[in-house]
Structure 1
Amino acid sequence: MNNNTSLIWNAILTVAVLVLFFLHFSGGKSSSFSGADSTGVQGRRIVYVQVDTLLKNYAFFDDTRKELESKRYQLENDLANRGRSLENEIQFFQQKAQTMTLDQARATEAQLGKKQQDLIAYRDRQAQTLAQQEADKNNELYDLIYKYIEKYNKDNEYEYVLGYSKGGGILFANSDLNVTQKILDGLNNEYKEKSKAGEAKKDSTAKK
Structure 2
Amino acid sequence: MRKNTTLFSAIAVLGLLIGACNTPANNESNSADENKVDISDLKVAYIVTDSVINNFDYFKERSAEIAEKGNKYQSELTNRAQGFEKEVASFQNSNANMTMNQARAKQEELMTKEKNLMTFRENIMAELSADETKLYNEVYDKIQVYLNDYAASNDLEMILSYTRGGGVWYANKSLDITDDVIAGINDDYKNGTSSDSEEKVEEPAEEK
Q: Which of 115, 118, 139 is residue 116 of structure 2 equivalent to?
A: 118
**CA radius of gyration, larger in:** 2
* Matching residue of 2:106: 108
The answer for unaligned runs of 5 or more in structure 1 is 1-26, 32-40, 201-208
* 2:157 paired with 1:159: yes
Cα pair distance change 1:29/1:81, threshold 3 Å: farther
* Matching residue of 1:74: 72
Question: Moved runs in structure 1, 4+ residues, more than 3 A?
Answer: 27-31, 194-200
Cα distance in 1 between the residues matched to 2:196 and 2:137: 20
When the two chains are superposed, the root-mean-square deviation of aligned CA atoms in Å is 2.4
* Matching residue of 2:186: 188
Using the aligned pairs only, state the percent identity: 29
Q: How many residues align?
A: 166
Cα pair distance change 1:86/1:139, threshold 3 Å: same
CA offset digits 1:28-74 (Å, max 9, x no partner):
6946xxxxxxxxx3421111112232123211122222222222222
SS of 2:159's equivalent?
A: strand
Cα pair distance change 1:194/1:109, threshold 3 Å: farther
Cα distance in 1 between the residues matched to 2:35 and 2:187: 34
Cα distance in 1 between the residues matched to 2:36 and 2:136: 34
Kept in 1: contact 2:50–2:163 (CA 8 A): yes
CA offset digits 1:92-140 (Å, max 9, x no partner):
0111100111000000110010011111111111211111111110100
SS of 1:161's equivalent?
A: strand
SS of 2:127's equivalent?
A: helix
CA offset digits 1:140-183 (Å, max 9, x no partner):
01100001101222222322101112333322211221111221
Amino acid at match of 1:109: Q
